């Protein structure tokens, strides 16, 4: 059963995708340690993640890649707009250069841009300072390999050891400080960000002249880049979330507060709108009626767009167990099979690699077009959706013809020990599934101290009821 397969990720029992037309792409479990979770090292800045941590991460990277290539490590660093991003940026650069590496600074930019530049400009690794959709007081460090993908687990293990004071990977001795000519340097690399903007513009084969587009930059990484791209392509842009002050990233704006963009689209009669999160690796769209297009709707539009162009390899997509069952059914009617994987963009990318498909994504708005990127990119998603609208000569809502979502309800429960509670909740989830006829997923978040609950059924009432019962079960024992 699919639920049994994914038990190592989260509770997910008796899922109804037991059909010959559904492919299950099984992912191995990814390492989560004391510091690094499913999406890098993340926590409250100055408390959970400090300048000292960043300095040590930089030292390991400078040493590791220097030893591996018997030369200087070349690392590129980007950051979002959080107040703490500057502290972590300078600390990382200091650690890298003290270990003999060179740090190339892209300044405020998106996670996908760091991935793109790492891959295209031959860097040994990429580093992004961001806590994505989290509040401003959190921050994080995301590491990428030379292909712009998430860093290899072998490297993460070494960093975890060093941060814990275990020097065994280094022969029992601390990492030496570089001296003389071997000391590294920092290099201003804003040109990399500009080249990424050019890359995004080059993806479009159409002019957006005459189209009115809303853009919500979340006061984060995309606050300048998104508008630059759409202005260059001829759209008339209406922008919010473009006044970062260090403490307002994701504050009432962005993909996690989509109501702001919905209002902008409705009030100004816009053709379409796009909202990004703090580091712009996800995008949630809004159609001409102010209706929200989640990652599921975006994936449906993108899959049909690529299929019509003959570019959907294997007539398949990768989606996760959180994806709406209606997406899978709707795609199947178009002759498109769904490969189901675990949660997270790394799981999606791995499943895409294993199955050979070129499109995958999550309901949260992480969409991967492997022809252009090795990771989810909110801006690439926005450009591809615009291409579908312009080439289809229709409104965004018209591109959802044939799509019917099932009722789905979700809730996040703040807890301090989510991973420990996960297994305890299995019997409750099973009981609710059997009693209410719902599909349930309960999992501890890899990026926040919460347990995420999702219920799906033909009955919206049962979805809400199941989530509320489980919410009460969790809060009755351990709600922070």
CATH 3.40.120.10 domain position(s) in the chain: 36-194, 207-400
Rounded CA separation 161/34 (Å) = 10
CA pair distance 372, 378, nearest whole angstrom: 12
Q: Residue 12 in contact with residue 431, Cβ under 8 Å?
A: no
Enter the DSSP assignment of 151.
Answer: P
CATH class of the domain whose range is 36-194: alpha beta
Max CA-CA distance within the chain?
A: 71
Which residues have CB under 8 Å from 255's CB, separation 6+? 133, 216, 218, 275, 276, 277, 282, 283, 284, 364, 365, 378
The pLDDT value given to residue 32? 61
Residue 249 CA to residue 36 CA, distance in Å, equals 22
CB 457 within 8 A of CB 439: yes
Neighbours of 21 (CB within 10 A): 11
CATH of domain 406-478: 3.30.310.50
Q: CA quadruple 90, 94, 97, 101: dihedral positive or negative? A: negative
Q: What pLDDT, on a 0 to 100 scale, did the predictor assign at position 450?
A: 86
Q: Give, as one character, the DSSP assignment of residue 356.
A: T
Classify residue 198 as exposed, middle or buried by CB count within 10 Å of its CB (0-12, 13-18, 19+): exposed
pLDDT at residue 23, rounded to an integer: 56
pLDDT tens, per residue, the chain with 480 residues: 223 322 322 323 223 344 445 555 444 444 467 898 877 899 999 999 999 999 999 999 999 999 999 999 999 999 999 999 999 999 999 999 999 999 999 999 999 999 999 999 999 999 999 999 999 999 999 999 999 999 999 999 999 999 999 999 999 999 999 999 999 999 999 999 999 999 999 999 999 999 999 999 999 999 999 999 999 999 999 999 999 999 999 999 999 999 999 999 999 999 999 999 999 999 999 999 999 999 999 999 999 999 999 999 999 999 999 999 999 999 999 999 999 999 888 899 999 999 999 999 999 999 999 999 999 999 999 999 999 999 999 999 999 999 999 999 989 888 877 677 777 787 788 889 999 999 998 888 877 788 889 999 999 999 999 999 988 888 765 444
Measured CA to CA, the distance from residue 279 to residue 223 in angstroms comes to 10
pLDDT at residue 422, rounded to an integer = 75
What is the pLDDT, as a whole number, of residue 7? 30
d(CA 341, CA 12): 12
CATH number of 207-400: 3.40.120.10
CB 410 within 8 A of CB 455: yes
Tokens of residue 418, six digits: 């989510």
Place of tokens 């409250």: 44
Give the C-alpha separation, 230 to 293, whole Å.
Answer: 19
CA-wise closest residue to 137 among 247, 41, 252? 247
The catalytic position among 85, 98, 130, 132 is: 132
User: What residue ranges of the chain are covered by domains with CATH 3.30.310.50?
Assistant: 406-478
Q: How many residues in the chain?
A: 480
Q: Which two tokens stand for residue 379?
A: 């801006």
Q: Which of 358, 364, 342, 349 is nearest to 296 (CA)?
A: 364
Residue 132 catalytic? Answer: yes
Structure tokens at 442: 């309960």
C-alpha Rg value of the chain to the nearest Å: 22
CA angle at 169 for the pair 164 and 173, rounded to the nearest 5°: 85
357: exposed, middle or buried (Cβ count in 10 Å: 0-12, 13-18, 19+)? buried
């Amino acid at each position: 059963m699919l639920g049994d397969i994914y038990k190592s990720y989260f509770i997910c029992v008796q899922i109804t995708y037991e059909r010959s037309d559904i492919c299950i792409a099984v992912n191995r479990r990814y390492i989560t340690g004391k510091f690094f979770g499913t999406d890098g090292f993340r926590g409250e800045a100055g408390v959970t993640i400090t300048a000292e941590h960043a300095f040590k991460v930089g030292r390991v990277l400078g040493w590791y890649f220097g030893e591996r290539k018997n030369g200087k490590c070349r690392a590129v660093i980007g950051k979002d707009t959080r107040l703490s991003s500057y502290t972590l940026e300078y600390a990382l650069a200091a650690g890298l250069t003290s270990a003999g590496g060179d740090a190339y600074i892209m300044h405020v930019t998106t996670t996908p841009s760091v991935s793109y530049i790492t891959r295209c400009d031959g860097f040994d690794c990429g580093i992004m300072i961001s806590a994505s959709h989290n509040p401003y007081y959190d921050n994080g460090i995301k590491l990428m390999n030379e292909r712009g993908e998430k860093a290899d687990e072998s490297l993460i293990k070494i960093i975890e050891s060093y941060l814990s004071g275990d020097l065994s990977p280094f022969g029992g001795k601390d990492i030496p400080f570089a001296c003389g000519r071997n000391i590294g340097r920092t290099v201003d690399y804003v040109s990399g960000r500009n080249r990424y903007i050019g890359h995004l513009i080059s993806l479009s084969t159409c002019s957006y002249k005459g189209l009115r587009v809303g853009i919500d930059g979340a006061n984060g990484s995309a606050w300048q880049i998104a508008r630059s791209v759409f202005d260059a392509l001829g759209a008339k842009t209406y922008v919010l979330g473009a006044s970062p002050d260090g403490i307002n990233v994701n504050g009432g704006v962005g993909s996690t507060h989509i109501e702001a963009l919905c209002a902008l689209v409705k009030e100004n009669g816009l053709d379409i709108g796009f909202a990004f999160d703090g580091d712009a690796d996800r995008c949630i769209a809004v159609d001409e009626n102010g209706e929200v297009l989640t990652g599921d709707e975006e994936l449906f539009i993108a899959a049909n767009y690529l299929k019509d162009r003959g570019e959907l390899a294997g007539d398949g997509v990768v989606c996760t167990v959180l994806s709406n069952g209606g997406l899978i059914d709707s795609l199947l009617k178009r002759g498109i099979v769904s490969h189901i994987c675990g949660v997270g963009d790394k799981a999606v990318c791995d499943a895409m690699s294993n199955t050979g498909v070129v499109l995958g994504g999550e309901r949260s708005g992480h969409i991967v077009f492997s022809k252009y990127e090795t990771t989810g990119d909110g801006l690439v998603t926005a450009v591809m959706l615009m291409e579908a609208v312009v080439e289809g000569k229709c409104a965004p809502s018209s591109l959802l013809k044939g799509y019917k979502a099932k009722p789905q309800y979700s809730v996040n429960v703040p807890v301090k020990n989510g991973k420990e509670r996960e297994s305890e909740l299995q019997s409750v989830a099973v009981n609710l599934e059997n009693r209410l006829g719902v599909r349930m997923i309960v999992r501890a978040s890899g990026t926040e101290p919460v347990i995420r609950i999702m219920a799906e059924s033909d009955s919206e009432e049962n979805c809400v009821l199941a989530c509320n019962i489980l919410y009460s079960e969790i809060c009755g024992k351990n709600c922070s």
